[in-house]
Amino acid sequence: MTTIRLSQEFLKDFSKLERRLEKGSGDAEHIIRIINRGMTKLSENPEAGQKIPRKLWPEYYISKYDINNLWRLRLDDSWRMIYTLGKEGIEIFCIVLEAMDHKKYNKRFGYK
């Protein structure tokens, strides 16, 4: 089983979702459920997503996280999880960088 680590940015966003859920937000419940399902999938297979070609990496991820690989996991029709893989000794781990809707995904990656 692969260890899942979470970026600080992802933790902040996830905490906001949990607060929305506490207030009864149905969409927050759905988003949390698909994110948890995605993390389970990654813990079982860290290459469950699609590797993003280097030429498509946003500068944001390169400068903020100093990545050397970038992956996308489709959570549903509208949501994507962005992650990177790391290695310590023989252990491979996933670092979840962001989960975002398709609109934010398109903006982050410069798609129209």
Give pLDDT, residue 26: 83
Give pLDDT, residue 100: 96
CA dist 103 and 112 (Å) reads 9
Give pLDDT, residue 25: 81
**pTM for the whole thing?**
0.93
Specify the CATH number for the domain of residue 64.
Answer: 3.30.2310.20
Q: CA distances (Å), 98 to each of 39, 88, 89, in order?
A: 12, 22, 25
The domain of 30 spans 3-109
CA dist 56 and 52 (Å) reads 7
Tally of domains in the chain: 1
pLDDT exceeds 80 at position 79: yes
pLDDT-derived band at 76, boundaries 50, 70, 90: very high
CA dist 46 and 87 (Å) reads 11
